[in-house]
Chains A and B, each alone.
Chain A
Amino acid sequence: MSAALAVQPPVQTRRTSLFERDLLYLFSYDADLEMRRDELGFVPGGLRVNITSKPNKTRMYHVARESSTLGFKAVEGTITSGIDRALIRNDNIGVLDVQLTMRTDDGALIYSEYRGLYPAGDRGYRRLISRQPLLGTELQPFKAPVYVTPRYQTDSPDYRWLTQYQCVGFGEVTVIKSDIRSVTFDIYALD
């Protein structure tokens, strides 16, 4: 149940139990980030980098290959454009600032923007900027978790259900020779 009337609000005391919570799986995507990388340079707090994904090379898909999600049509398609205006902070935290547009296989456009974090690990900042030693190899890429917080906007009646949710993404970034090469996410709605 989503709501209840409270005719007489109870005297408010500190809770001793947690609210119910759920993560509702929505879709996944794998982003190839080798399109373009612009290093803006050092700014107060860290290094700014703009990373652009290859257009139409990133698929949204359902991990379990199901055709519906939460009773609605599954989100399947491609990311037509995406950019991450990233800040690699000098306290070893990467901050994501992403805007992307998705086109579903049935032609709907869905826009998303989100912030996120990825812990670069101890001395991660120095290793990423100094490239000495290079982080990750082709045979043994460096992988790190990344977490994002997307919301979605669309006017498509088939996908408007997405817009009501605050979402989170659990992801993994792949770094080779200190370059972020790709990132993959599972996206969930908070409920």
Chain B
Amino acid sequence: MRVPAFELVVPSSLSEAAQFLKTNQSRARLLAGGTDLVVRMKQRTALPEFVINLKNISGLTGTKRLPKEGMSIGPLTRLTDIAASLDINEDYPELAKAARSVGSSQLRNVGTIGGNLCLETKCYYFDQSSSWWTASDKCRKRGGERCYIVPSSTRGCFALCSGDTVPALIAYGANIRLTAPEGERVIPLEDFYTGKGIGHLDLRAGEILSEICIPPPDGVRAAFFKYSPRNTIDFAMVSLAVSVRREPAEVRIVVGGVASAPERCIDAESLLARSTGPENADEIARTAADKLRIISWVRGPVSYKKQMVQILVRDAVNRLQE
């Protein structure tokens, strides 16, 4: 399969990249590892006139422990390096585990954590070659009128948000820095996702994900699990991260892969926050599964996903309460 022709842009600074992106917003795409973008260009679901290669910009790669603020991760850090980083394995072991669960070793050797956070939402239909699509009317995410996942819907897209490191990072309370030509803003990673299948990221004109910051790990315990149809290469049917923080007291239960954004299980979180012993794990798990919005049958029936959420939440809670 060929990649359609494009013009390569190689900025040497973040502000240069952001300025170019802002000027050519709809015609340009950012290239980090390329394991998502190159596939989508081959599928003709991304047809940029310009590809902005970020790899020549210094300061976007690597992890750094900060004296007070926790950990700073460059978005261009490859998933292999996240998985192998001693600092991350020591401070945020479940993030390392989540990074290890992405794709295959070949994909992790090229794919970056920033790319994983920005991963395009997908469904069985959108994620196909253009020749496959010649046989039917285009779906909304491809510029058509229909949705094959929820045929009765009159608008919207139900493609899934599947980055495996996303739930783990949200569980650890990560923030992200978005840099634009006229300045930057720092937001909780959770707020980065709009919940829409089309336009799933809250990105303003010219903004580039430039840093991932995780608060100090003191007093935090977490558990991450991923369940997928095959236990390799596949995107998650359900990915789950649960965290319990002592000071300030906070509990998070984050489910990825079931909707167009990662979902928090708020009711189950408050049950877990009040829970005193392992006897409550079943009830917490049931609440999480019952209240969760699972919108799509992609990668497995909704009822099956609900059961998997329940099982994974129960296992995670049990592990954290050991």
Q: Do A and B come from one complex?
A: no
Binding site for A on B (CB under 8 A): none
Binding site for B on A (CB under 8 A): none
